[in-house]
A and B are shown apart, each in its own frame.
Chain A
Amino acid sequence: MATATAPATPHEAHAAHPPESFIRHYIFSLDHKMIGKQYYFVTLFMALVGGGLAMLVRAHLAAPERGLLDPGTYLAAATMHGTVMIFFFLTTILTGFFGNFLIPLMIGAGDMAFPFLNMLSFWTFVPSVLILLASFFVPGGPAGNGWTSYAPLSALPQASPGSGLGQTLWLVAILILMTSSLFGGLNFLTTIINMRARGLSMGRLPLTIWGIFFTAILALLSFPVLMAALVMLLLDRTAGTSFFVPAGVLIGGNVVPHSGGEALLWQHLFWFFGHPEVYILILGPMGIVSDIISTFSRKPIFGYTAMVLSMAAIGFLSFLVWGHHMFVSGMNPILGATFTISTMIIAIPSAIKTFNWLTTLWQGRIQFSTALLYAVAFVSLFVTGGLSGIFLAASPVDLYFHDTYFVVAHFHFVMASAALFAIFAGTYYWFPKIFGRMMNETLGKIHFVLTFIGIYGTFFPMHFLGTHGMSRRLYTPSTYPFLASVQPLDVFISASAFMLGAAQLIFVYNFFNSALRGPKAEPNPWHANTLEWTAESPPPHGNWPEPPVVYRWPYDYGVPGAADDYLPQTVPGSPALAGHAGRAGDGHGAGDGHAGGGS
C-alpha cells in the first residue's frame, strides 16, 4: 500500500509558503496535516494486517478439528492480532492521526509547537512497524505469548516456540513505538497549553481536544513504565539478568540459569501501563463522539463541565486499578478488595458520560449522517462493554471469568468496537476537511449497518463462551469435554466476523474513491462551530491566512434568536444572544460561564 501519496491536495502550496519539493511535502513533511495523513495511511494498513490475522484466527476456530493453523501459528496469529490492533492501530491512529491533524486546527494554531519533533515521531514510528512486520519472517516466527507477553514464558527463549527471536523483535518494536508516542505526547501538551487562539480559554476547548489532552498526559505517565519493563525483559532474554525469572525454573527438564526474579513483577509493571492504556484508547473517542453528537443533534453538549471532569477523573483513577487484571495472580487477597472498590468507582464517571450523551440527543434535531450513526452506536457499544466490566470488577465473579472469553467480549466491546466506531465516526466527519472532498454517504450507511450488526454478532456471543467457562487462547476448545457444546457459538461468531471483515472493504473503497473523486467539499459542510471548519477544505500549510479569534464555546447550536442554528466560535457575541445564561456573548476567557447550574 502506498503510504505517502496523499491524493487530492492540489492547492496545498499556499501563497504564504513557497512550494515545497516532493520529498519535503509528502515524505519528510513538517506540516501537522500531512504527518497526520501519513499516520492514517500506515495505521490503516496495520488495521488490515490485524484484521487479516483475526480472520485467520476465526477461520481456524470455526472448525478447529480441521487444523487450518497449527498450535504455534494459532498463538502467533492471536498474539500479533492483539499487538497490531492495540499498539499499531488504535493507539497510533488516535494520537498520530487525530491528535496531529486536529489539535492545531481545533485550537486555531498554524502548526504544532515542535514541527520537527512531530516529523521525528512519525519517522520513529515507521521503523517500529517494519521491525514488527519483519518478525513474521524470522526463524521461529513472530511472538506467540499473547499481547500481554507474561513472563517467564516470554523471558525464556527456550520456553515455547513463540518465545524466540520473534519475541525479542516484539519487545524492540514496542519500545521504539513508545518512544515515538512520547515525542507526540510532549508535542500535543505543549501545543494545547501554549498555542491556543486568542479567546480560546481551556474552558472553551472542544471535548475532542480535552480527550486528546488527557490521553497525552496518561501516555506520558504510563508509557515510561512499560518501557522500563520492556528493557528489563529484553535484558532477561539476552543479557542473563533475571528480573522476572525466579530460581529453579525447569524448561524441558533442565534448570534455567536464572535466579532471584519475580514473575509477578512483569504483570504489575505491564498492567500499571496497561490499564491507563485502555483509557488512552477511549478518552480520545469519547471526545470525538461528544463533538459529533452535539453537532448532529444541533444542540449543545449536555454537561460540558461534567464531561471534562469525568475524563479527568477517569484518567486519574486509571492509575489506581491495575490490580483488577491480577485478582487470581496470587497477589495479596486484601489488594483484591481494594482494587474491586477502586474499579467500581471508575465506573461512575463512565456512567455520567453515557447519560450526558443520551441527554444531548434528547430534544435535539438529529441529522442522521454516517458520522452521527457511528457516534450513537459508540454509545451503545460503550454501554454494553462497560456493563460487562462490572462483572469483571467484582473480584469474586472475576475468579470465574478471568482469562475466559467473557473478558475477550468485554474488551472487544469497549476498546475494539467502541474505539473503532469513534475512529469511523471521526473519519466520516472530518474527511471533507482532510481531503477537501465528501465521502459517499450511501456507502457509508451500508458500511455502518453491516459493521454494527457484525460487531454485535461477533462479540456478544463471546459472553456466553465465557459463562460456559471457555478459556481464551485455546487452540481447540473441545479438548475439554465440558466445552463441546459451544462449537455452534464459535461457528456463529466466525460467520459474523467474516461479514464484519468483508464490510470493511466497502469502507476502504469509499475512502480511496472519495479521496480521489468525491464531490468537492465546502469549508463547513456540516455547519459546525469548531475552528477547523473556518479554514479552507483542505486547509493550506499554515491553516489560516490570519490566526482566528475566538469569542464563544464550541457548542452554540440552536441558540434562540440567532440567525442560524449554529454559531461558530469565531462569531463575536451579540447582545441579542447574551441573555442565555450569559453564555453566548460573554467575550474573552469566559469558558467558566459553562461551569454548572441549571438553565
Chain B
Amino acid sequence: MASWSEAQDHRRAGVWTGILVLAILVAGVGSFVIAKYKWWLQPLASVQGRVIDQYFNWILLVTAIAFIATHLFLAAALMRYGARGGERASYWHEHLGAELTWTIVPGVAFIALGILGVFTWSKLYSAPPPNAQVVEVTGRQFFWYVRYPGADGRFARTDPKFVSQSNPLGLDPGDPAVKTNLVVLNELHMVNNRPIEVRVRSVDVIHSFFLPNFRVKQDAVPGRTIPIWFTPDKEGTYQIACAQLCGTGHYTMRGNVTVESQAAFDQWLQQQAAH
C-alpha cells in the first residue's frame, strides 16, 4: 500500500518551488523590460492616442505591482512553510481585517482605474469638431475602399444593385454627388493636425478597421455606418490592418495611411481625381 508519508521533510522541495516561482517573476518582469525596447506599442501618431497610452501606463503600473507582490508572497510562502516531520500548521482560517483589506485595496484600485477609463472613453466618443475632414472607409473581402467626398462634402448614395467592376461600392449614378466622389483602393490620406471623421462600413462580412499608430479600431459591420474621429499629429506613412477574421484572405487585407500637410494632401487628391 503506497501512502503519502507525513513525516517527510518538504523544505528542500519548498525552496526549489519558490525558486521556480521567483524565476517566473524575474523572467516576466525582465521580458517586459526587453519588450519595451523591441516590441512595444506602435509609435504614436494621434492626439487621442496620448490619453490612451497614459491610461495604459497607469494600468501597467498597478498590474505590475500586483504581479510582483503576489508572486513574492507566493514564493515566500513556499520557501518558508515546507512541512517538516510531524509538525503542525498553525490553525486559523478567518480574519475580518485581512479580508476587508484585500477586498478594499484591490477594489479601490480597480474601480479607480474603471472610472479613469470611463472618462477617457467619453473623451474619445464625443461629437467630432466641425472642421473635421470626413472620409468613408468600406471593407470588402479583402480590401479597404476609401471614399473622399470632394469639394461639396457630400457622399453619393450607394446601392448594392449598382455594384460592378468599375463601381465597387455601388455609387448611385443618378446622384449628382457621384461626380466629385473619389474612391481609392487601400490609400487613406489625412491632413496633419486636422481632425478626421471616418465613417466605417462593410459591404459583406465583418472586418475591423485598425490603425495601430492612431490607437483606433472600429469593426466594419454590414448594414451599419459607424463614425469615429481622431486627430493625426505626426506626418508619415502608416498602415491599416484588419483585426477581424473576414475569410481566408484576411491576412492580406491592408492599406496605407499617409499623414501630410494640407498642401500635399490637396495635391494628392487632385492627382487621384485626374486618373
Contacts and interface: CB of A to CB of B under 8 A. Distances in A.
Interface string A26-45: 00000000000000000000
Contacts of A475: 248, 250-251
Interface residues of B, number: 113
Contact of B17 (A144, A368, A383): A368
Interface of A: 71-72, 75, 144-146, 150, 152-153, 156, 159-162, 245-251, 253, 255, 261-264, 297-306, 328-330, 333, 336-337, 340-341, 343-345, 347-348, 351-352, 354-356, 358-369, 373, 376, 379-380, 383-384, 387-388, 390-391, 393-397, 399-400, 402-404, 438, 449, 452, 456, 460-461, 463-465, 467-469, 471, 473-477, 479-482, 485-486, 489, 518-522, 525-527, 555, 557-560, 565, 580-581, 594, 596-599
Interface stretch (B50-58, B143-151, B184-192, B258-266): B50-58
Given A298-B83, A402-B217, A71 B89 contact: no
B118 A340 contact: yes
Contacts of B115: 341
B97 A153 contact: no
A454 B241 CA distance: 31
Contacts of A463: 35
Interface string B186-201: 0000000000000010
A574 B83 CA distance: 26
Contacts, number: 379
Contact of B40 (A249, A468, A555): A468
A380 B22 CA distance: 11
Given A264-B221, A344-B113, A361-B78, A367 B39 contact: no
Contacts of B39: 464-465, 467-468, 485-486, 489
Given A159-B204, A337-B121, A306 B99 contact: yes
B14 A368 contact: yes
A464 B110 CA distance: 23
5 cross-chain pairs, A with B, having the tightest CB-CB distances, nearest first: A246-B223, A344-B114, A469-B212, A368-B13, A300-B93
Given A365-B81, A469-B41, A527-B4, A246 B59 contact: no
A343 B81 CA distance: 35
A150 B244 contact: yes
B245 A473 contact: yes
A466 to B, nearest CB: 9
B180 interface: no
Contacts of A596: 94, 96
A358 B13 contact: no
Contact of B1 (A333, A360, A476, A521): A521
Contacts of B55: 394, 396-397
Contacts of A356: 99
B249 interface: yes
